[in-house]
A and B are shown apart, each in its own frame.
Chain A
Amino acid sequence: MAALPRRIIKETQRLMQEPVPGISAVPSETNARYFHVIVTGPEDSPFEGGLFKLELFLPEDYPMSAPKVRFITKIYHPNIDRLGRICLDILKDKWSPALQIRTVLLSIQALLSAPNPDDPLANDVAELWKVNESEAIRNAKEWTRRYAMDN
Chain B
Amino acid sequence: MSAESDMEYSDNDGDDYDYYGEQDDCDMEAVDRTKSDPEYFLYTCLRVEEVEKLLNESIELLSNSLQITPSLAKVTLHAYEWNAQEIINKYKENANEVLVYSRVKSRSPVLQASTSRSSCAVCANTPPMHKYSALACGHYFCNDCWAMHFEVQIMQGVSNTITCMAQDCELRAPEDFVLSHVTKPMLRERYQQFMFKDHVKSHPELRFCPGPNCQDCPKCQICIEKNGGCNHMQCGACRHDFCWVCLGDWKSHGSEYYECSRYKEDPNMSSDSQHAQAREALKKYLHYYERWENHARSLKLEEQTLASLKSRINQKVMAGEGTWIDWQYLWDSAKLLKRCRYTLQYTYPYAYYMENGPRKELFEYQQAQLEAEIENLSWKVERAETTDRGDLENQMDIAEKRRTTLLKDFLEFHTTTASSSKV
Contacts and interface: CB of A to CB of B under 8 A. Distances in A.
Interface in B123-168: 123-125, 139, 141, 145, 148-149, 151-153, 165-168
B122 interface: yes
B296 interface: no
> What class of interface size applies to chain A in its complex with B?
10 to 19
B247 interface: no
A10 B124 contact: yes
B165 A98 contact: yes
B122 A98 contact: yes
A61 B152 contact: yes
A63 to B, nearest CB: 6
Contacts of A9: 124
A10 B120 CA distance: 12
A21 interface: no
Contacts of B166: 96, 98
B165 A97 contact: yes
A7 B122 contact: yes
A56 B166 CA distance: 22
Contacts of B151: 64
B121 interface: yes
A65 interface: yes
Contact of B124 (A6, A64, A96, A99): A6
Contacts of A5: 123-124
B298 to A, nearest CB: 39
A9 to B, nearest CB: 8
A96 B152 contact: no
B148 A6 contact: no
A97 B145 contact: yes
Contacts of A65: 152
A97 B152 CA distance: 11
A61 B148 contact: yes
Interface string A73-94: 0000000000000000000000
B165 A6 contact: no
Contacts of B139: 98
Given A96-B167, A97-B145, A97-B165, A63 B122 contact: yes
A98 B121 contact: yes
Contacts of B153: 64
Interface in A40-83: 61, 63-65
Contact of B149 (A6, A64, A99, A103): A64
Interface string A98-119: 1100010000000000000000
Given A6-B123, A6-B124, A7-B123, A98 B148 contact: no
Contacts of A6: 123-125
Nearest to B168: A96
Interface string B334-370: 0000000000000000000000000000000000000
Interface in A1-54: 5-7, 9-11
Contacts of A98: 121-122, 139, 165-167
Contacts of B141: 97
Q: Among the interface residues A7, A65, A97, which one has the most CB atoms of the partner chain B within 10 A?
A: A97
Contacts of A99: 167
Nearest to B152: A64
Contacts of B168: 96
Contacts of B165: 96-98
B209 to A, nearest CB: 29
A97 B124 contact: no
A9 B119 CA distance: 14
Contacts of A63: 122-123
A125 to B, nearest CB: 29
A65 B168 CA distance: 15
A5 B144 CA distance: 13
A98 B142 CA distance: 12
Nearest to B147: A64
A6 B141 CA distance: 15
Q: Among the interface residues B122, B145, B166, which one has the most CB atoms of the partner chain A within 10 A?
A: B122
Interface string B160-195: 000001111100000000000000000000000000
A89 to B, nearest CB: 11
B152 A7 contact: no
Contact of A7 (B124, B149, B167, B169): B124
Interface in B85-119: none
A63 B123 CA distance: 8
Nearest to B165: A97
Interface of B: 121-125, 139, 141, 145, 148-149, 151-153, 165-169
Interface of A: 5-7, 9-11, 61, 63-65, 96-99, 103
Given A7-B124, A61-B148, A97-B165, 13 more contacts: A5-B124, A6-B124, A7-B122, A7-B125, A61-B152, A64-B149, A64-B152, A96-B165, A97-B145, A98-B122, A98-B139, A98-B166, A99-B167
7 tightest CB-CB pairs across the interface, nearest first?
A64-B152, A96-B167, A7-B124, A10-B124, A97-B165, A97-B122, A6-B124
22 contacts: A6-B124, A7-B122, A7-B123, A9-B124, A11-B124, A61-B148, A61-B152, A63-B122, A63-B123, A64-B145, A64-B148, A64-B149, A64-B152, A64-B153, A96-B169, A97-B145, A97-B165, A98-B121, A98-B139, A98-B165, A98-B167, A99-B167
